[in-house]
């Protein structure tokens, strides 16, 4: 690889992009104009922002005549109850009880207790009054409420004097009714204001009752806390809002800033006819990709940084000018000191997005087609960005291994000032991001090495013709696209199957099911779906089912070697399972679901039946699909490990719980390697069966618990099993079936090594 060639290509691409007025406008001019214009429009809109008063309907209010604290004074809530100016924004509409038809017609029961039907009628009539007077909330005082409330202090005082002499409960406190409708923010604000007033009024009534009973008011609240704010003056702003907004904007603009230059550098050059000139130059394909990649990275980085700086400056000006609004919202200017650290974090992010966008742009036939790929890229990226926005999300080892999500949490920790405690997770975040960058660059290089991708022309696609082509021109093994389609179909059908046959999703539902229904819904039906889809696609779209499913005879001794490997790797698999469970804590509901599943399996009549259900059936059905049809199709791409990883990913996604997905992914890697090296699916079935059977048979053994509790035993078993597994894997590595199968599938044998 020549750095001089990369430099020449980089300078060529940068010069071409800097001559493009549209690119310069999107990168340099738009951020400078967009956010100030956005801030100006915010100022204009803020002129119309007013804190509108809440209208509250009060039915049946009567003055307490000084015996108790007043709730209403001069058609407003009493002044002691209004804590601040916000409480002055409440307008009251007082109406007598006779306005309520239920009371006016004498239907109110003497006992004062309403049944459910009567309460529904009263609530409906109050709702009609609220609509009539345009109120957002209502307070209803039942008949004789204030009479009982006036007598309450005396009854409470009598009960306090007899304390210790009687076991009677304290006198019941009369209860008014607060009716509200939280269907809109305005109505919810009215509810919050009235609820706060009523609680304070109730507290004052209680304190007066304590005073008249010669009881200290401290009895109701014996502990007072001295409070001190340790935050520095410059840090007393709410950074939680900016820590969510700025990373989101930064990553979205990094994707957008990488996508459009990538489309122009690949699909645009196809349309202009300049790509052929570049490909015929002495530069290698990897040098061309790196030159274009560095160009796209610069535009992605500059786009995100300019948008970040422009947004931060505009936000600071807006918050400075609208101080009153900022104080109410508890939001200050964005933390400018963190922009430098965000810029450093943005460098690997730009490399990641640039490599992905470059590969997609190379695949596109035209700029129009390339623009269609932007929305899928954003839709895939959005969940990874929004997931860390949850309040419960925190940067830990588990999140640091998730691409993009770990970066978002790292940015949040930098802005919130918690990076001092979380700095060790910087390394796994960086390692994960760089690993994804490497695979993205490899994918882009592969796209540039495929002439059928670079020089494909526009074509008219016909569904009927395509299906006829699939059947008429069938190959011995499935294509890469058919393999992906099979995995996606399995996921979709299993998703709809869960709701159609009412698969139990809780521990109580599992316990309530008969054993036969439990086995049918949770094991037999999903396995039947996996097997049916893989077999149907095998016989419909391939000429050689035996080669598509890799049903050939395995190498001698590979079956017992696979069984022994499953036993040897089981301690390591258990340790991995415990590590994953520690990184991604299992929710209580999922934990109880798994426990109920195991308890239900304990109802089986004989142990061999349980082994059939949880070991033999999954081993046959899942291996026919994932290490048979899917893996043989994925190997048509010409890369052995890429096919193994993709088949393992599809296998992991077929499991519902994230802990199971992580374990299934690593299990799929081992199974895929065995299938490639042995040239047959049967060792995979043997390994899968032995792995599940070992897990079932050893789960409740006292020896297993003793090994797990003793560190010496655990280390010895883990070390011995790992050494034996390495020896068996080396034996599988010596087999030559990996090359032979790759060549038979239509791929270059040299590309598989």
Mapped to the 3 state alphabet, what secondary structure does 398-412 carry?
HHHCCCCHHHHHHHH
Radius of gyration, alpha carbons of the chain: 35
Cα 130 to chain centroid, rounded = 41
Q: What is the arithmetic mean of pLDDT over 66-94? A: 72
pLDDT value, residue 673: 92
- Picking from 695, 692, 673, 697, the residue whose alpha carbon sits closest to that of residue 684 is 673
Task: Work out the mean pLDDT of the chain and round it to a whole number.
Answer: 77
Distance, CA of 400 to CA of 86 (rounded, Å) = 44
Give 204-215 as a 3 state SS string. Answer: HHHHHHHHHCCC
Residue 208 three-state SS: helix
Least confident of 150-164, 434-448, 721-735: 150-164
- Picking from 523, 506, 694, the residue whose alpha carbon sits closest to that of residue 596 is 506
Banded pLDDT at 700 (limits 50, 70, 90)? low
Distance, CA of 298 to CA of 261 (rounded, Å) = 10
Banded pLDDT at 742 (limits 50, 70, 90)? very low
pLDDT at 23 over 50: yes
Looking at the whole model, is its pTM more than 0.75? no
Q: What is the arithmetic mean of pLDDT over 595-618? A: 80
- Residue 258 C-beta-side C-alpha neighbours within 13 Å: 30
Distance, CA of 549 to CA of 490 (rounded, Å) = 16
Most confident range, picked from 46-50, 62-66, 227-231, 742-746 = 62-66
- pLDDT greater at residue 33 or residue 630: 630
DSSP 96-129: -GGGSHHHHTT-S-TT----HHHHHHHHHHHHHH
Distance, CA of 290 to CA of 292 (rounded, Å) = 5
| Token digits of residue 304 | 């995100």
Helix, strand, coil percent values for the chain (each to nearest 5): 70, 5, 25
Give tens-digit pLDDT for 489-515: 898 888 888 777 777 777 777 788 788
pLDDT at 174 over 80: no
Q: What is the arithmetic mean of pLDDT over 443-448? A: 83
- pLDDT greater at residue 742 or residue 102: 102
Distance, CA of 290 to CA of 596 (rounded, Å) = 53
Percentage above 70 pLDDT, the chain: 76
pLDDT value, residue 169: 60
Banded pLDDT at 457 (limits 50, 70, 90)? low
pLDDT value, residue 627: 93
Residue 95 three-state SS: strand
Distance, CA of 466 to CA of 468 (rounded, Å) = 5
Distance, CA of 625 to CA of 192 (rounded, Å) = 56
Beta strand 177-180 with 137-140: parallel, antiparallel or unpaired? antiparallel
Q: What is the arithmetic mean of pLDDT over 606-626? A: 88
pLDDT at 586 over 80: no
Cβ contact 69:80 at 8 Å:
yes
Least confident of 7-16, 49-58, 325-334, 416-425: 325-334
H-helix segments, 266-338: 267-272, 275-279, 285-321, 323-329
Cβ contact 313:256 at 8 Å:
no
Q: What is the arithmetic mean of pLDDT over 31-42? A: 59
What's the burial of 678, exposed, middle or buried (CB within 10 Å: 0-12/13-18/19+)?
A: buried
- Picking from 187, 148, 179, 185, the residue whose alpha carbon sits closest to that of residue 58 is 179
pLDDT at 65 over 70: no
Give tens-digit pLDDT for 228-241: 444 444 444 455 66
DSSP 372-387: HTHHHHHHHHHHHHHG
**Positive or negative: CA dihedral 47, 49, 54, 55:** positive
Least confident of 67-71, 139-143, 431-435: 67-71
Distance, CA of 665 to CA of 576 (rounded, Å) = 11
Query: What are the Cα distances from residue 388, in Å, to 17, 384, 432, 662?
Result: 35, 7, 16, 19
pLDDT at 5 over 90: no
Most confident range, picked from 49-53, 168-172, 349-353 = 349-353
Most confident range, picked from 38-42, 375-379, 390-394 = 375-379
User: Which contiguous run of DSSP H or E holds residue 642?
Assistant: helix 640-653
| Token digits of residue 566 | 């499953």
Torsion angles phi and psi, residue 15, rounded to 5: -65, -40
Cβ contact 265:362 at 8 Å:
no
What's the burial of 389, exposed, middle or buried (CB within 10 Å: 0-12/13-18/19+)?
A: middle
In DSSP terms, 57 is beta-bridged to 93, 138
pLDDT at 461 over 70: no
Distance, CA of 1 to CA of 5 (rounded, Å) = 8
Cα 177 to chain centroid, rounded = 40
Give tens-digit pLDDT for 88-119: 578 888 888 888 888 888 888 877 778 888 88
- Picking from 647, 642, 645, 651, the residue whose alpha carbon sits closest to that of residue 631 is 647
Distance, CA of 528 to CA of 497 (rounded, Å) = 11
First to last CA, the chain: 21
Q: List the 54-59 sheet strands across, edge first.
A: 90-95, 54-59, 137-140, 177-180
Least confident of 69-83, 255-269, 341-355, 648-662: 69-83
Distance, CA of 381 to CA of 353 (rounded, Å) = 10
What's the burial of 697, exposed, middle or buried (CB within 10 Å: 0-12/13-18/19+)?
A: middle
Q: Each residue of 143-153: b (16+ CB within 10 Å) or e?
A: eebbebbeebb
- Residue 7 C-beta-side C-alpha neighbours within 13 Å: 3
Which residues make Cβ contacts (< 8 Å) with residue 616, sequence separation at least 6?
A: 689
Distance, CA of 117 to CA of 109 (rounded, Å) = 13
Give tens-digit pLDDT for 337-371: 777 888 888 888 888 888 888 888 887 777 777 77
pLDDT value, residue 647: 92
């Amino acid at each position: 690889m020549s750095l001089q060639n990369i430099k020449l290509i980089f300078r060529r691409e940068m010069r071409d992009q800097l001559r493009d007025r549209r690119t310069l406008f999107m990168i340099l001019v738009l951020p400078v104009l967009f956010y100030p214009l956005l801030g100006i429009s915010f100022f204009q809109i803020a002129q119309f922002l007013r804190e509108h008063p809440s209208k509250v309907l009060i039915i049946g209010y009567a003055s307490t005549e000084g015996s108790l604290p007043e709730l209403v004074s001069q058609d407003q809530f009493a002044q002691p109850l209004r804590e601040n100016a916000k409480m002055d924004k409440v307008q009251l509409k007082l109406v007598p009880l006779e306005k309520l038809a239920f009371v006016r017609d004498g239907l109110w029961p003497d006992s004062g207790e309403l049944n459910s039907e009567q309460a529904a009628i009263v609530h409906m009539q109050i709702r009609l009054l609220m609509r009539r007077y345009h109120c957002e909330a209502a307070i209803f005082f039942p008949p004789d409420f204030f009479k009982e409330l006036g007598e309450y202090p005396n009854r409470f005082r009598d009960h306090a004097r007899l304390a210790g002499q009687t076991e009677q409960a304290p006198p019941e406190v009369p209860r008014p009714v607060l009716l509200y409708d939280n269907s809109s923010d305005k109505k919810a604000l009215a509810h919050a204001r009235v609820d706060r007033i009523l609680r304070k009024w109730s507290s004052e009534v209680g304190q007066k009752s304590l005073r008249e009973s010669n009881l200290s008011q401290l009895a109701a609240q014996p502990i007072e806390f001295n409070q001190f704010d340790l935050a520095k003056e410059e840090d007393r702003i709410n950074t939680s809002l900016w820590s969510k907004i700025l990373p989101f904007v930064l990553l979205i603009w990094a994707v957008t800033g990488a996508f459009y230059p990538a489309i122009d550098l690949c699909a645009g050059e196809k349309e202009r006819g300049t790509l052929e000139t570049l490909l015929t130059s002495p530069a290698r394909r990897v040098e061309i990709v790196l030159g274009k990649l560095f160009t796209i990275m610069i535009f992605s980085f500059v786009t995100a940084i300019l948008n970040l700086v422009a947004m931060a400056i505009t936000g600071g000006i807006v918050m400075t000018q609208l101080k009153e609004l900022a104080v109410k919202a508890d939001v200050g200017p964005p933390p400018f000191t963190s922009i430098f650290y965000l810029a450093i974090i943005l460098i690997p992010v730009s490399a990641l997005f640039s490599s992905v966008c470059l590969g997609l742009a190379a695949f596109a036939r035209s700029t129009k087609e390339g623009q269609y790929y932007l929305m899928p890229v954003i839709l895939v990226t959005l969940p990874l960005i929004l997931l860390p926005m949850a309040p419960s999300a925190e940067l830990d080892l588990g999140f640091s291994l998730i691409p993009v999500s770990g970066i978002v949490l790292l940015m949040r920790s930098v802005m919130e000032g918690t990076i001092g405690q979380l700095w060790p997770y910087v390394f796994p975040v960086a390692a994960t991001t760089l690993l994804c960058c490497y695979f993205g660059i490899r994918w882009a290089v592969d796209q540039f090495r495929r002439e059928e991708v670079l020089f494909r022309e526009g074509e008219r696609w016909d569904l009927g013709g395509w299906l006829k082509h699939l059947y008429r021109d069938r190959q011995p093994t499935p294509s890469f696209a058919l393999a992906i389609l099979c995995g996606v179909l399995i996921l979709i059908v299993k998703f709809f199957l869960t709701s159609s046959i009412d698969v139990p999703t809780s521990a109580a539902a599992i316990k309530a099911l008969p054993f036969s229904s439990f086995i049918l819904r949770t094991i037999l039906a999903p396995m039947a779906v996996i097997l049916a889809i893989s077999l149907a696609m095998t016989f419909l779209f391939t000429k050689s089912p035996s080669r598509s499913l890799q049903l050939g005879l395995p190498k001698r001794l590979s079956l017992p070697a696979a069984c022994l490997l499953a036993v040897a790797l089981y301690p390591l698999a258990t340790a991995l399972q415990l590590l994953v469970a520690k990184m991604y804590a299992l929710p209580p509901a999922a934990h109880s679901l798994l426990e109920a599943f195991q308890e239900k399996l304990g109802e089986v009549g004989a142990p061999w039946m349980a082994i059939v259900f949880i070991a033999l059936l999954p081993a046959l059905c899942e291996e026919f699909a994932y290490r048979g049809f899917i893996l043989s199709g994925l190997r048509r791409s010409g890369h052995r490990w890429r096919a193994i990883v993709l088949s393992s990913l599809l296998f992991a996604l077929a499991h519902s719980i994230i802990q199971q997905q992580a374990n299934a992914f690593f299990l799929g890697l081992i199974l895929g390697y065995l299938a490639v090296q042995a040239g047959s699916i049967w060792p995979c079935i043997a390994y899968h069966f032995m792995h599940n059977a070992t897990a079932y048979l050893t789960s409740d053994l006292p020896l297993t618990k003793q090994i797990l509790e003793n560190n010496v035993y655990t280390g010895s078993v883990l070390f011995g099993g790992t050494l034996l597994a390495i020896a068996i894997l080396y034996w599988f590595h010596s087999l030559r079936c990996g090359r032979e199968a790759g060549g038979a599938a239509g791929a270059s044998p040299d590309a598989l090594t």
